[in-house]
Structure 1
Amino acid sequence: MTQQRRIISIQPGQPASDGAGVRLNRVIGGPGLERFDPFLMLDEFATDNPDDYIAGFPPHPHRGFETITYMLEGRMRHEDHLGNVGLLGSGGVQWMTAARGIIHSEMPEQESGAMRGFQLWLNLPARDKLGEAGYRDIPAADIPRLVSRTGVEVVVIAGEFDDGEQRQVGAVQRPHTQPQLFDLRLAPGSQVAPRLADGQRVMLYVYEGQLQLAAASAQTVGAGRLIRLSDEGQLQLASAQGAGVLLIAGTPLNEPIVQYGPFVMNSREEIEQALRDFRDGVLA
Structure 2
Amino acid sequence: MTFRPVTGTTRAKPTLEGAGVHLHRVFGFGDTSETDPFLLLDDFRNDAPEKYRQGFPWHPHRGIETITYVLEGTVEHSDSLGNSGALGPGSVQWMTAGSGILHQEMPLGNAKGQMHGFQLWANLPSSLKMTAPRYQDIQGADIPTVVDDDGTSVRVITGNFWGKAGPVDGIAADPLYLDVSVPPNTRKVLPVDTYSHTFAYVFAGAGTFRDASDPVGVRVEKEVDGQELNIRDLTGNRTLVRFGTGDEIVVTAGPEGVRFLLVSGKPIQEPVAWHGPIVMNTRAELQQAMRELNNGTFIRSAH
Query: Shorter chain as normaliser: what TM range?
Result: over 0.9
1:258 to 273, 279, 290: 273
Structure 1: unaligned runs, 5 residues or longer: none
Structure 2: unaligned runs, 5 residues or longer: 217-233
| Cα shift at 1:149 | 1.6
Counterparts of residues 100-139 of structure 1 (less than 5 Å): 100-110=99-109, 113-139=113-139
**Partner residue of 2:230?**
none
**Partner residue of 1:161?**
161
1:199 aligns with 2:195: yes
Q: Which residue identity lines up with residue 236 of structure 1 in the other structure? A: V
Contact 2:191–2:247 at 8 Å: present in 1 too?
no
**Partner residue of 2:51?**
52
Contact 2:5–2:210 at 8 Å: present in 1 too?
no
**Partner residue of 2:37?**
38
TM-score by length of 2: 0.89
1:7 aligns with 2:6: yes
TM-score by length of 1: 0.95
Q: Which moved more, 1:69-78 or 1:167-176?
A: 167-176
The 2-side partners of 1:232 and 1:282 are apart by 45
Counterparts of residues 86-235 of structure 1 (less than 5 Å): 86-110=85-109, 113-162=113-162, 167-174=163-170, 176-215=172-211, 216-219=213-216, 220-235=234-249
The 2-side partners of 1:190 and 1:221 are apart by 15
Contact 2:197–2:265 at 8 Å: present in 1 too?
yes
* Rg larger in structure: 2
| Cα shift at 1:233 | 3.9
The 1-side partners of 2:201 and 2:45 are apart by 14
Contact 1:161–1:194 at 8 Å: present in 2 too?
no
The 2-side partners of 1:170 and 1:193 are apart by 20
The 2-side partners of 1:44 and 1:110 are apart by 14
How many residue pairs align between the two structures? 279
SS of 2:89 mapped into structure 1: coil
Contact 1:3–1:234 at 8 Å: present in 2 too?
yes
Contact 2:205–2:254 at 8 Å: present in 1 too?
no
